[in-house]
Structure 1
């Protein structure tokens, strides 16, 4: 296992380019299974989770030609369906929660699919009910093989129908959309997720010949077609990484320009960081964050303590609450962080408390942060990354702290952030990767 040795207290300065969107990549790469024709995808993030999905696609017969580290031509014209029922697939697919995204396109095109027991972050219960119920409403049957630890899905023919999702799950909506594009008849999905990444998937499918309307809303209508063709697609910049860089600049009193940030697709993310008192300006598609001596958390109009919580799009993404919490530790003022969707995502706060932060963990879902206003700097400690987003938050804390920090289990960070140590070192950080 590897670790980061981080020397904190340095001001950073320079331009940084966000990677392609991780969450979009897992959906888009799975969608290539819907056609036998070549699909060209660019701005693919070079991270562990995405590379593992590419390996899985190759294992089941997808031909992959890498034109560079961030671009691929994929062709699914000779798929080994039996591999999906193998122990090798269950073992490898079980390491990656994104492997669940293969089920929708496999079920649509080949009428059978397997879902291994999903891995990924240990951030609380992440159920698959929305996926399975959606497939059932389209006409699929499923059974759980307890011994093998996977779901088996099959259908003689998928048929369009109306469904009201019990939750606006992003991966659930994406999986059902990919199954429905080749179903017979019209599928209507109400309470659908409408995140930019899902919009990207729908636009790509329409270029492939699908007929999806209502894109960007929570009411999607899909008229099934018999076949899809190839296309080209470019990933959006990763909004989570962009938010991380805004928070990093504020915490380390650094001047950073985030280039080609896809500002039109960031929703309320800039507004939430502005509520923490962080100054920035937007020029074209670039975000410039100046070096700030201090930043003060806003209050509500009645003087009440600010609350920042996650909510389905166009609300604030849960993936950035860990970053917001860390950034608030050095702000002036207090904020209540309410993580509604996952019950274990705030447990990393004990490490921040050990670094000197003033945080009250109210319960598994809520934490109150009392900003130190830089009167007391965080101090470097040894710690371990519990998940992708908390790992990045701890890295930001370490970069702002006095002294050296050791962050273990950085494979979690590598799952979501490409070459993060190299890219931050290029603008002045001191991060060393050690065994």
Structure 2
């Protein structure tokens, strides 16, 4: 197990380039299974979760030409479906939640798909009903083996249909869309997720020959086609990493410029940080955060305490709530952080309380933060990263704290952030991997 040793309280200055979006990469890489032609994907983040998915596709029979660490050409011409029943597949797939999205393409192209119970972050209930109900609506038969915790979907004939998703699941929407593009007839998906990741997936599928209307909305209409071809696709910058860098600049009082952000795809993220009192200048497609000695949280018009809550897109992504919570600890004022989607994602606040933060965990979904206004810096601590997003939030807290902190289990951070220590050290951080 690796750890980060962080010397906090350092002023950072320089430019950071965001990596490719992890959540988009997991979707579009699964989509290469929909065709036997070559698909080239650029701006792939070099992180554990994405590399594990690429390795899994290689074991499944996909021919992979890795031009660089950030660009690959995939050719899914000779798929070995027997591999899906192997112990190696069960081990690899169960450790990576995003690989659940191979099921839609395999079902559409080969009429069958198998999958073990997926792993991933332990952040609360993350049910898969949306995926399988969608497959059943298209005509597939779903079987669950409780002894092996193994899922099977099979269909001799799929047929387009209308469906109302029980929740606007991003991965559920992606899986169903990928199944529907090769399904005869018209499929209408209402209450679809419309995050930029899903929009990018749909645009990639259209470039492969799919017929999808309503991209960017929660109502998708798909006319099934008989086959898809190859394409080239470029992944967006990772908006979660961009938000993490904004929070880092504020917490450390640093001056950072985030380059090539695709600001048009960030939704309300910049506005939400501005409500925390963080100044930002958007220059073309870059975000410049000037050094600020203090930042003050807004209140509502009636003077009541500000609430920062997650919501389905175009609302605030839940992946950034951990960063907002940490940023609030050194702000002036109070805020209620309301994590609606996952009931275990706020459980890392005990570590921040040990560092001196004034936080009351109201219940599994809500935390009240009374900012210290930099009057008292956070204290260095020895901690362990519970998941990807809490891990980077703790890293930000440690970089603002006085003294030397240690974060264990940083494999969790590496799952979502490529070479984060080396990149931050280049602009003045002191992070040592041990």
User: 1:152 corresponds to which residue?
Assistant: 152
Q: Residue 25 of structure 1 aligns with which residue?
A: 25
Q: Is residue 357 from structure 1 mapped to residue 361 from structure 2 by the alignment?
A: no
Q: Describe how 1:95-244 pairs up with structure 2 within 5 A.
A: 95-244=95-244
Please give the alpha-carbon distance, in whole angstroms, between the structure 2 residues aligned to 1:54 and 1:69: 11
Partner of 1:413: 413
Structural mapping, 1:378-393, within 5 Å: 378-393=378-393
Secondary structure, in 3 states, of the residue corresponding to 1:407? strand
Unaligned runs of 5+ in 2: none
CA distance in 2, matches of 1:49, 1:114: 20
| 2:342 matched residue in structure 1 | 342
Unaligned 5+ segments in structure 1 are none
User: What is the SS of the residue equivalent to 2:64?
Assistant: strand
Structure 2 distance, partners of 1:250, 1:121, is 26
What is the rounded CA distance, in whole Å, between the counterparts of 1:380 and 1:113 in structure 2? 48
Partner Cα separation in structure 1 for residue 50 and residue 84 of structure 2: 18
Residue 298 of structure 2 is aligned to residue 287 of structure 1:
no
> Shift of the alpha carbon at 1:158?
1.1
* Cα distance in 1, alignment partners of residues 87 and 295 from structure 2: 53
Match in the other structure for 1:305: 305
Structure 2 CA distance, aligned partners of 1:115 and 1:268?
A: 35
Task: Provide the C-alpha distance between the structure 2 equivalents of 1:70 and 1:207, rounded to a whole number of angstroms.
Answer: 21
Q: Which residue of 1 aligns with 2:5?
A: 5
Q: Could you report, residue by residue, the CA deviation over 1:381-414 in whole angstroms, capped at 9, with x for unpaired residues?
A: 0000000000000000000000000000000000
- For 1:147 and 1:369, the matched residues in 2 are separated by 44
State the 1:149 CA deviation. Answer: 1.9
Q: How does 1:250-261 map to 2 (within 5 A)?
A: 250-261=250-261
Following superposition, the deviation at residue 113 of structure 1 comes to 0.2
TM-score w.r.t. length of structure 1: 0.99
Residues 242-267 of structure 1 deviation map (CA, whole Å, 9 limit, x = unaligned)? 00000000000100000001100000
Q: Which residue of 1 aligns with 2:396?
A: 396
Counterpart CA distance in 2 for 1:252 and 1:157 is: 57
Q: How many residues align?
A: 434
- 2:49 equivalent in structure 1: 49
Q: Secondary structure at the match of 1:167?
A: coil
1:271 aligns to what?
Answer: 271
How far has the Cα of 1:146 moved from its partner? 2.2
Query: How far did residue 99 of structure 1 move?
Result: 1.2
Single out whichever of 271-280 and 146-155 deviates more from structure 2: 146-155
Q: Secondary structure at the match of 1:49?
A: helix
Aligned mates of 2:58, 2:149 — CA distance in 1: 22
Tell me which residue corresponds to 1:316.
Answer: 316
CA distance in 1, matches of 2:116, 2:309: 31
How do residues 58-97 of structure 1 correspond to structure 2 at under 5 angstroms? 58-97=58-97
Is it true that 1:327 corresponds to 2:327 in the alignment?
A: yes
1:150: how far off? Answer: 1.1
State the secondary structure of the residue aligned to 1:151.
Answer: strand
What does residue 424 of structure 2 align with?
424
2:123 partner SS: coil
**DSSP 3-state at the match of 1:36:** coil
TM-score (norm. length: structure 2) = 1.00
Q: Which stretches of structure 1, 4 residues or longer, exceed 3 Å deviation after superposition?
A: none
Q: Within 2, Cα distance between the matches of 1:84 and 1:186? A: 29
Distance 1:339 1:115 in 2: 29
Q: Give the Cα separation in 2 of the matches to 1:158 and 1:172.
A: 18
Can you list the C-alpha shifts for 1:276-302, whole angstroms capped at 9, x where unaligned? 000010011000000000000000000
Find the aligned partners of 1:148 and 1:83 in 2 and give their Cα distance.
16
- Whole-Å separation in 2 of the counterparts to 1:425 and 1:188: 48
Q: What is the deviation of 1:148?
A: 2.4
3-state SS, counterpart of residue 113 of structure 2: strand
